[in-house]
Amino acid sequence: MTPFEREWEKMLSGEVYDAQMPEFHERLALARHAMRRFNDLPPLDIEAQHALLKSLFGRIGEKFTVNQPFRCDYGCNIFIGENFFANFNLTILDEAKVTIGDNCFIGPNVSIYTACHPLNARERATGVEWAEPVTVGNDVWIGGGATLLPGVTVGDGAVIAAGAVVTRPVEPYTLVGGNPARFIKKVD
């Protein structure tokens, strides 16, 4: 195993890793190149859009829509189920695994983050970081402008209100909203 492969494994397992290694920057650049190609495709060229995302993501179902523009860090750490819809400006920082279930709908300007940085400025300046996975269950609706922070799990059937900042687990079949997101009510 190369030094980079060891750091990549540390990243995926939630350990502190050296994000300044050149190979990380190269992979980020390759994903940005793919995102530029995706975002520049004609909106009606669904076949090319699907092909590009299927080659980039770890997995995505057969039936999906990802409106342009879309951004991610690596893409290969994103796993999406069937019948997925994402509106404009979805951003996924996938240093750790991001799993999204079936029948999920994401509003515009939603951000999903897995990357974590030290609070101490000197330590942060060294380029070390870690990542925590984000998991979204089946039948979830994430409203426009919502943000999911590292390590959160959203249960099946949950609704995240527009503009919510999700900092902790969301129970199945609940509506949460606010900053930080809090329980509002049960939903069917």
Q: What is the CATH number of the domain that holds 46?
A: 2.160.10.10
Residue 91 has phi, psi (to 5 degrees) of -125, 125
Per residue in 1-14, pLDDT (tens digit) is 899 999 999 999 99
How many domains, in total, are found in the chain? 1
Q: Is 0.75 surpassed by the pTM of this model? A: yes
Digit-coded pLDDT (tens) for 87-116: 999 999 999 999 999 999 999 999 999 999
Q: Report the percentage of the chain scoring pLDDT > 90.
A: 99
Here the tokens at position 186 are 């049960």
∠ Cα 164 162 185 (to 5°): 75
Average pLDDT value for residue range 27-34:
97
**pLDDT recorded at residue 148:** 98
pLDDT computed for residue 184 by the predictor: 98
* Alpha helices for the chain (secondary structure H): 3-12, 22-40, 46-56, 121-125
Structural domain span for residue 167: 3-186
> Tens digits of per-residue pLDDT, 163-184?
999 999 999 999 999 999 999 9
146-165 pLDDT per residue, tens: 999 999 999 999 999 999 99
Tell me the pLDDT of the chain averaged across its residues. 97
pLDDT over 90 at 83, yes or no: yes
Q: Which of 25, 33, 50, 117 is catalytic?
A: 117
Q: Is 25 known to be catalytic?
A: no
Other C-beta atoms lying within 10 Å of the C-beta of residue 44: 8
Q: In the structure, what pLDDT confidence band is assigned to residue 188 with cuts at 50, 70 and 90?
A: confident
pLDDT of 36 over the 90 cut: yes
* Distance from C-alpha of 141 to C-alpha of 128, rounded to nearest angstrom: 33
